[in-house]
Every structure is written in C-alpha cells, then in structure tokens.
Chain A
Amino acid sequence: MKIKDEYVLQDLPGMAVVVPQGDEKYFLKLNSTAAFIWRAFESENDPDSVARALAAKYSISYERALRSVRKTVDEWLGSGFIE
C-alpha cells in the first residue's frame, strides 16, 4: 500500500493540501491528523505501523488509531490517491 507518485502533500498555513502533479484539478485538503497519516504512508506501507505511530503522536489507544487509519485509507483508496 503506497501513495501514488502523482500526488504530493504540500504544507500551507493552517492546513495541508494534496497537489496533483499532472493535469488533474482536484486538490485534497487534509487536517493535521490526516496529514500525519499521509506522511506516515510516504515512508511506511503497513497500516498497523502507521496506527502505532498515530497512537503515539496523539496519545490515543492503538485500536482507535487503527480505526482512524483504516477509515482514511479506505477513502484514499476509493479516491485513487493510494494503491
């Protein structure tokens, strides 16, 4: 599971935005949690590892973090941001 090369996360004041590198004109805005998950998947392809990192970052339970990661991944898979 990895983020497609044609999408790059860009930090802006108060938000992060996924910028398509090709002709596509859809820009995905991410809140801080989603941006953390995106960055984690840039170097990691295992949802369990990302959930552990998310749990540590936000001091939440592993189970809650895993639910959040799975929900986010499902959305991004559906939208074609990851493969």
Chain B
Amino acid sequence: MDFFIDFAFFRVRITSDDPLVFKRCERYIAPVSGFDFAACSRPEFEKEVRAREPDFKSDYVEFLCIYRDIAEKIVDYGAFVMHGAAIEYGGKGYIFTGPSGIGKTTRARLFAGAGAEIVNGDKPVLRILGDRVYVCGTPWAGRENLGKPLCVPLCGIFIVSRADGEEPKCEPLTPYDAFGALVNQVYLSSSASGKSKTVALLGKVLDKVGVFALSGAPDERLLAAAKAAMGEV
C-alpha cells in the first residue's frame, strides 16, 4: 500500500505492505496530496543489508531499505543523512556523532536529562534551506526508536570520543580537521554524482556550523563542557 509521511520539510510517498514500516512511520503520517518523491525498498538494497546484518528480521530490513532509497534521493534536494544522535536544546539543534558504540546516544540522553529533546537517536537528516542548516527527526531512529517529528536549526556538531577517566574536553575543530571524521558518518550514495553532491553539502554544513571534538565520560563535567561550547556557537 501507499502512504505519505512528512519529515525534513519533505513529503514522501512510501510504498510498503509491511506493518512494521507503517507503525514506525505513524507519527509522521501526512494527508494524501502532492509529494516530493516516492520511496520503497529495492532488491539490491535488501541483498546488501542482509549481507551486513544477517540477524535482522525481514520487516526491519525492508524498513531500513526504504530509508536507503530516501537517502539516495534527498541529496538532490540539499539534504543528507548523518549517523548520530540529534537533540533540540533551547530551540537549537546539536548532533553527537562518531563511530558505532562510542556513546552518541548516551551523550544525547545526558542532555535529555537536562531538558533537551532527542530529535533522532540514530540517523537524522540534515537539510540546507537558504542560509540555514536544519537537523530533522525521521521515522528511522534506530532500534530504540528515539526521536520526534522535529526540525531545528543545527548549531553544533560534536564528534564524540571516549577518553574515560580524563578531564572532559570540548575543543573546536576547523572544517579541514572535521571533514575527515564527518565524511565517514554521512550516507554516501553509490553513484559518483550522488557522492559528489553529498560531499558538497557536507562542505556547506562545515562552513555554517561549528564542529567540536568532545571527549570524556558522560557525566556532569562533560555536560558543562559541551554547554560552554554551545554558548560559543
């Protein structure tokens, strides 16, 4: 069946008969009307996901493959997917990014305890509209499904590293230094033109949004260090 969802200022037609897909998209359902593009799972995507994640159930694989289709298409609209946990704090958006298992969601939860909303716990969409970059919630919010249908101006990106036991640090990075770490955390199209468009969009984001290296255990001291950086952005 077909249904429509709104996220990141897009309206997308989803084609899927999978109940899990509809359930995960429920909070994003839009009235039936014109849409920006259509998305569905594709056999070639499913083959790749199954090879990478053999334990995933087929309905969750289909759900992920629909996002893959979306990720391929949104670069044409000035948007891309970043692996990370996004929060809204004081009306501003921030992303904690870094390798899997580093504690992105833990940092987002630390801020949630201080009054932040989790926008997306796994793969938010970043969209450039005019001079602003927005970070947006989507139905694809990780296995824990942490997130909300929110879009907020992106004001900072934190690249997380552990260094537990050391004094927490939050240091600004130049776009040149940040690029290498961030390009590994964005969805890159399999096509050369899609990849090039995503790299160009990432360059624009780095030109507009502050990036910080955030290290240390997720405690009050880290929260204070990150908040101080937020005051600077």
B180 contacts A12, CB within 8 Å?
no
Please encode chain B, from 177 to 216, with 1 for each CB lying within 8 Å of some chain A CB and 0 for all others: 0011001100010101001100110111011000000000
Residues of A1-39 whose CB lies within 8 A of B: 8, 10, 12-15, 17, 19-23, 25, 27, 29, 31
- Chain B facing A: main interface SS: helix
| A12, closest chain B residue (CB) | B203
A14 contacts B195, CB within 8 Å?
no
9 A–B pairs (Cβ distance < 8 Å), ordered by A? A10-B196, A10-B199, A10-B200, A12-B175, A15-B175, A19-B192, A19-B196, A25-B184, A31-B176
Residues of A48-79 whose CB lies within 8 A of B: none
4 residue pairs, one from A and one from B, having the closest CB atoms: A12-B203, A13-B207, A21-B192, A15-B176
B206 contacts A8, CB within 8 Å?
no
Q: Give the interface residue-count category, chain A.
A: 10 to 19
Can you name 17 extra interface pairs (CB under 8 A) apart from A12-B206, A14-B175? A8-B196, A10-B200, A12-B175, A12-B179, A12-B202, A13-B175, A13-B203, A15-B179, A17-B203, A20-B195, A23-B190, A27-B179, A27-B199, A29-B176, A29-B179, A29-B180, A31-B176
Min CB distance A16 to B, Å, is 10
A27 contacts B175, CB within 8 Å?
no
Taken together as a complex, chains A and B put the C-alpha atoms of A17 and B207 apart, in Å, by 14
Contacts of A10 in B (CB 8 A): 196, 199-200
| B208, closest chain A residue (CB) | A13
A17 contacts B199, CB within 8 Å?
yes
Min CB distance B173 to A, Å, is 12
Min CB distance A19 to B, Å, is 5
Given contacts A12-B203, A13-B204, A13-B206, contact A21 B179 (CB under 8 A): no
B179 contacts A17, CB within 8 Å?
yes
Residues of B39-65 whose CB lies within 8 A of A: none
A27 contacts B207, CB within 8 Å?
no
Contacts of B188 in A (CB 8 A): 25
Contacts of B174 in A (CB 8 A): 14
